[in-house]
Amino acid sequence: MEQFTEMVLARLNCKDERTKAILTKLITHLHDFIRDVEPTEEEWFKAIDFLTRTGKTCTDKRQEFILLSDVLGVSMLVDSINHRNNNGATESTVTGPFHASAPPMEMGSMIAKGPELERGEATLVRGKISDINGNPIPDAIIDVWQSDDIGYYDVQEMGQPEVNLRGIFKTNPDGKFWFKTIKPAAYPVPTDGPVGEVLRAAGRHAMRPAHIHFMIMVPGYQRLITHLFVKGDEYLNSDAVFGVKDSLILEFKLNNSASDAKALGFQSPFYEVEYDFILNKIN
Amino acid sequence: MEQFTEMVLARLNCKDERTKAILTKLITHLHDFIRDVEPTEEEWFKAIDFLTRTGKTCTDKRQEFILLSDVLGVSMLVDSINHRNNNGATESTVTGPFHASAPPMEMGSMIAKGPELERGEATLVRGKISDINGNPIPDAIIDVWQSDDIGYYDVQEMGQPEVNLRGIFKTNPDGKFWFKTIKPAAYPVPTDGPVGEVLRAAGRHAMRPAHIHFMIMVPGYQRLITHLFVKGDEYLNSDAVFGVKDSLILEFKLNNSASDAKALGFQSPFYEVEYDFILNKIN
């Protein structure tokens, strides 16, 4: 049966070297997997049906194949391969399936606009963007998105306004930025589709520890996609998508100053979190 | 990064041993593939998009993931794993994406009912079903399906009546069967979807050599899914789905007897093909 794989590979007649390498490795590893598992015809058909349903679950607002890649550890593996030489820059993590276009906002804006604003814990997020030599980067684009206080994103349509808990900010001349939000919550990845079947078959929970997503873009610098995680979350050691890195776990500190709260328009006390992002130049 | 894969595997907590084996091997081989290819983030996203579109191409009448499995050689590999100990029984091959429910027919019926009946070359198919000891099997269910004379199946909706070139027959007490049809043609697998992109990237043609599909079912015997291929077809050595086995290539012999033709209601000359199928008992 090794000969069979060689026969399939011998048919490749790719114009492009990279395409040839990818198809060769795909066929080789896929056949190795099949020879290792020795699926019955019924198991093979279950796999066909699973992949078909995964495709059909994808919509404008839901990407079940990205979620599958996430829960199998593929997304984080691709991430680590593409960010091996970090030079001290901020570590990256998965994009996840919930990024969507967000409105540009004035510095300091509150990104929570739904019922979570009443229920949630007010939080000030601030920081700085700089290069690996410590030089601040002005006009850096900072795209942020997060779950509400009970673990849902706006696109999941669980009672939030459209385009909520998202915003795009631009750093000041000193590289600094700040915005207001509510503290994010841990949440399960969607389990009502095929990926939920995988998690149940694997005997794994679906929870992700609480976090805020950041995508930071500056011309001439590598795009940084990462999260800031909330220290103390019970799922930090068992993230369903393997996205946690120690350097990205931050304390959300309670600020008891009534005057600080008043200046921000918050009830007292409120939470504060601060992080300085470091970007790598494009090589 | 090997440690990362171990960490993902350590999370498995399957109730069922087979599920654990499959998920362990899936994650291991998938991560090996990723480490071997080192995809860029753009390439990873192209793969996500490809799988999504493959799922969305599937309908009641089209199974693009089966076709993908076929053109990557996976289907034939699964077939050979499941039919290793053949005991001299007829060799199997791929089901393909065009099986559909067919009507029971009287022995000797003509399965072609569309315009191909006028254009095509009349063919008599006959044979016998027996066990590996040569005992004939009566009442065997024989489900046949094939392309028309220009290479299309009814479900592709290219001018044929609904449910055409398909039929279900039952063997006589002596294990014999026969039916009338037109000679099938070589044809391309569908290339207007994602699988077409793979074939073009691989620099491979999409053609399958001409064949008639058989699915033979008898209680107590292993279901046999196979083809009979037309000897002399130019694509026998380069079938797009790797389905050809030498033992399944048969001569479609020209019969010049005017009286034989008349007895069958054919124009003279016509083609004849004969094959005796041998089934394995269920172990």
Closest CA to A156 of A125, A205, A116: A116
Structural domain count of chain B: 2
Kindly indicate the confidence band of residue A1, based on its pLDDT and cuts at 50, 70 and 90: low
Which among A52, A80, A195, A217 is the top mutation candidate for probing chain B, defined by the most B β-carbons within 10 Å of its own β-carbon? A52
Q: CA A169: distance to chain centroid?
A: 18
Mark whether B13 and B140 lie in a shared domain.
no
Q: Model confidence over A78-104: pLDDT tens digits?
A: 999 998 878 899 999 999 888 999 999
Over residues A19-48, mean pLDDT: 98
Q: What is the pLDDT of residue B283?
A: 77
Q: Which amino acid is at B91?
A: E
Q: Which element (helix H / strand E) includes B3? A: helix B2-10
Mention every residue, 6+ apart, whose C-beta is less than 8 A from residue B211: B146, B184, B227, B228, B229, B230, B243, B248
Alpha helices in chain A (DSSP H): 2-10, 17-37, 41-57, 64-71, 74-82, 116-119, 194-202, 258-264
Give the range of the structural domain holding residue A115, as residue numbers without chain letter: 77-279
Cβ–Cβ under 8 Å, residues A107 and A255:
no
Tell me the C-alpha distance between B195 and B67, whole Å.
7
Q: Which two tokens stand for residue A200?
A: 């149940």
Q: What is the pLDDT of residue A157?
A: 79
- Find the CB nearest B202 among A14, A21, A30: A14
Q: Model confidence over A248-268: pLDDT tens digits?
A: 999 999 999 999 999 999 999
Taking 70 as the threshold, does the pLDDT of residue A110 lie above it?
yes
Residue B116 included in any domain: yes
- Find the CB nearest B36 among A29, A33, A43: A29
Q: What is the pLDDT of residue A283?
A: 77
Instruction: Please tell me whether residue A277 adopts helix, strand or coil conformation.
Output: strand
Q: What backbone torsions phi and psi does residue B43 show, to the nearest 5 degrees?
A: -65, -40
Over residues B255-259, mean pLDDT: 96
Mark whether A156 and A224 lie in a shared domain.
yes
Over residues A154-183, mean pLDDT: 94
Taking 90 as the threshold, does the pLDDT of residue B2 lie above it?
no
CA distance B203 to chain A (A): 5
Which among B1, B2, B24, B30 is the top mutation candidate for probing chain A, defined by the most A β-carbons within 10 Å of its own β-carbon? B30
Query: What angle (nearest 5°) sits at the alpha carbon of residue B219, between those of residues B216 and B222?
Result: 55
CA distance A253 to chain B (A): 31
Mark whether B126 and B92 lie in a shared domain.
yes
Query: Long-range contacts: A250-258, Cβ < 8 Å, 24+?
Result: A250/A274, A250/A275, A252/A123, A252/A183, A255/A124
Q: Model confidence over A211-232: pLDDT tens digits?
A: 999 999 999 999 999 999 999 9
Mark whether A16 and A106 lie in a shared domain.
no
Residues in chain B: 283
Cβ–Cβ under 8 Å, residues A14 and A20:
yes
Kindly indicate the confidence band of residue A123, based on its pLDDT and cuts at 50, 70 and 90: very high
All residues of chain B having their beta carbon less than 8 Å from the beta carbon of residue A73 are 4-5, 7-8, 27, 31
Residue A56 included in any domain: no
All residues of chain B having their beta carbon less than 8 Å from the beta carbon of residue A75 are 44
Mark whether B137 and B38 lie in a shared domain.
no
> What is the share, in percent, of chain A residues with pLDDT greater than 70?
100
Cβ–Cβ under 8 Å, residues B195 and B54:
yes
Q: What backbone torsions phi and psi does residue A12 show, to the nearest 5 degrees?
A: -65, 135
Mark whether B116 and B172 lie in a shared domain.
yes
Question: Chain A: residue nearest B11 by CA?
Answer: A204
Taking 80 as the threshold, does the pLDDT of residue A2 lie above it?
no
- How are beta strands B187-188 and B253-255 bridged, if at all? unpaired
CA distance A12 to chain B (A): 5
Number of H helices, E strands in chain B: 8, 11
Q: Model confidence over A186-202: pLDDT tens digits?
A: 999 999 999 999 999 99
Question: Chain B: residue nearest A38 by CA?
Answer: B81
Residue A113 included in any domain: yes
Question: Chain B: residue nearest A53 by CA?
Answer: B55
- Contacts across the A-B interface (CB distance below 8 Å): 184
Q: Model confidence over B146-168: pLDDT tens digits?
A: 999 999 999 887 889 999 999 99
Cβ–Cβ under 8 Å, residues B147 and B189:
no
Mark whether B44 and B82 lie in a shared domain.
no
Q: What backbone torsions phi and psi does residue A162 show, to the nearest 5 degrees?
A: -65, 145
Q: Model confidence over B197-243: pLDDT tens digits?
A: 999 999 999 999 999 999 999 999 999 999 999 999 999 999 999 99
Q: What is the pLDDT of residue A84?
A: 86
- Find the CB nearest B48 among A14, A65, A198: A65
Kindly indicate the confidence band of residue B1, based on its pLDDT and cuts at 50, 70 and 90: low
Number of H helices, E strands in chain A: 8, 11
Mark whether B37 and B99 lie in a shared domain.
no
Residue B64 included in any domain: no
Question: Chain A: residue nearest B48 by CA?
Answer: A65
Tell me the C-alpha distance between A149 and A135, whole Å.
35
Which CATH number do you get for residue B118? 2.60.130.10
Residue A43 included in any domain: no
Strand partners, B25: none
Mark whether B209 and B169 lie in a shared domain.
yes
Residue B21 included in any domain: yes
Residue A50 included in any domain: no
Closest CA to B118 of B267, B281, B276: B267
Beta-strand runs (E) in chain B: 122-131, 141-146, 166-170, 176-182, 187-188, 207-208, 211-217, 224-230, 249-250, 253-255, 270-279
CA torsion through residues A228, A231, A233, A238, sign: positive
Question: Which region among A12-21, A198-207, A240-249, B84-93 has the lowest average model confidence (pLDDT)?
Answer: B84-93
Strand partners, B181: B123
Which residue's entry shows tokens 């044809």?
B187
DSSP B158-213: SSPPSS-SEEEEE--TTSEEEEEEE----EEPP-SSHHHHHHHHHT---EE--EEE
Residue A190 included in any domain: yes
Taking 70 as the threshold, does the pLDDT of residue B137 lie above it?
yes
Q: CA B254: distance to chain centroid?
A: 26
CA distance A109 to chain B (A): 32
Mention every residue, 6+ apart, whose C-beta is less than 8 A from residue A66: A75, A95, A96, A97, B48
Mark whether B50 and B148 lie in a shared domain.
no
Tell me the C-alpha distance between A190 and B226, whole Å.
41
Note if the bond before A269 is cis, omega within 30 degrees: yes
Kindly indicate the confidence band of residue B55, based on its pLDDT and cuts at 50, 70 and 90: very high
> What is the share, in percent, of chain B residues with pLDDT greater than 90?
91
Q: What is the pLDDT of residue A85?
A: 79
Mark whether A248 and A137 lie in a shared domain.
yes
Which residue's entry shows tokens 């894969």?
B5
- Find the CB nearest A74 among B21, B30, B69: B30
Mark whether B103 and B45 lie in a shared domain.
no
- In chain A, the N- to C-terminal Cα span, in Å, equals 44
Question: Chain B: residue nearest A52 by CA?
Answer: B55
Q: Which two tokens stand for residue A195?
A: 């990926």
Tell me the C-alpha distance between A145 and A95, whole Å.
11
